[in-house]
Chains A and B, each alone.
Chain A
Amino acid sequence: MKTEKTWKLSSVLAAMKAEPLTNRAEADLTGCYISDLLSDVLAHASHGMLWITIQTHRNVISCATTKDIGAVLFVCGRKPDPGVVAEADAEGIVLLSTKLAAYEAAGKLWESGLR
Chain B
Amino acid sequence: MIATIQKDTGVRLAAVLPDAADGRRSRIPEPGPELTVSAVMAHNAVAIKLGYSTITMTMPEGPSTETGTTAGKPPKVSVAQMLVYELRVRDAMTQPPVTGAPGDSLRTIQNLMKTHRISGVPILQNGAPVGLVSIEDIINALDQGHVNDPAERWMTRNIVTLRDHFSLVRAVAEFDRHGFGRFPVVNSSGALVGVLTRGDITACLMQKLEKRAEEAAAREAALFSAQTGDLERDKPMVLQTEVKSGDYESAGKISQHMRQILRARGVDPVIRRRAAIIAYEAEMNMIIHSIGGDLSVAISPGKVIIEAVDRGPGIENVDLAMQEGWSTAGPLARELGFGAGMGLPNIKKCSDQFEIHSEMSVGTRLHCEVLLSQAAPLPKPEVPL
Contacts and interface: CB of A to CB of B under 8 A. Distances in A.
A65 B342 contact: no
The bracket for how many chain B residues form the interface is 20 to 34
A65 B259 contact: yes
A55 B385 CA distance: 21
A67 interface: yes
Interface string B351-385: 00000000000000000000000000000111111
A68 B273 contact: yes
Nearest to A54: B337
A31 B251 CA distance: 27
Residue among A36, A61, A66, A91 having the largest count of chain B Cβ atoms under 10 Å: A66
A39 B350 CA distance: 13
A41 to B, nearest CB: 8
Contacts of A58: 249
A86 interface: no
B248 A39 contact: no
Contacts of A45: 383
Nearest to A40: B340
A10 interface: no
B55 interface: no
A63 B273 CA distance: 11
Contacts of B277: 42, 66-67
B6 to A, nearest CB: 33
Interface string A25-61: 0000001100011111011111100000101011111
B252 A43 contact: no
A46 B249 CA distance: 25
Given A42-B281, A44-B384, A57 B336 contact: yes
A62 interface: yes
Contacts of A38: 284, 336-338, 340
Interface in B253-296: 255-256, 259, 269, 273, 276-277, 280-281, 284
A36 B252 CA distance: 18
A57 to B, nearest CB: 6
A55 B383 CA distance: 21
A67 B381 CA distance: 13
Given A62-B280, A66-B277, A68-B273, A44 B336 contact: no
B330 to A, nearest CB: 15
B255 A66 contact: yes
A36 B341 CA distance: 13
Contact of B343 (A36, A39, A62, A91): A39
Contact of B342 (A32, A36, A39, A55): A39
Interface string B131-146: 0000000000000000
Contact of B273 (A39, A60, A61, A66): A66
A18 to B, nearest CB: 20
Interface string B324-346: 00000000000011111111011
B280 A63 contact: yes
A68 B269 contact: yes
B349 interface: yes
B256 A43 contact: no
Contacts of A39: 281, 284, 338-343, 346
13 contacts: A37-B337, A39-B340, A39-B341, A40-B342, A42-B280, A43-B346, A43-B381, A59-B251, A59-B336, A59-B337, A60-B337, A62-B256, A66-B259
Given A42-B281, A68-B273, 10 more contacts: A39-B281, A39-B338, A39-B339, A42-B280, A44-B381, A45-B383, A46-B383, A57-B336, A65-B252, A67-B277
Closest 3 CB pairs of A and B: A62-B252, A37-B340, A39-B342
Interface of B: 248-249, 251-252, 255-256, 259, 269, 273, 276-277, 280-281, 284, 336-343, 345-346, 349, 380-385
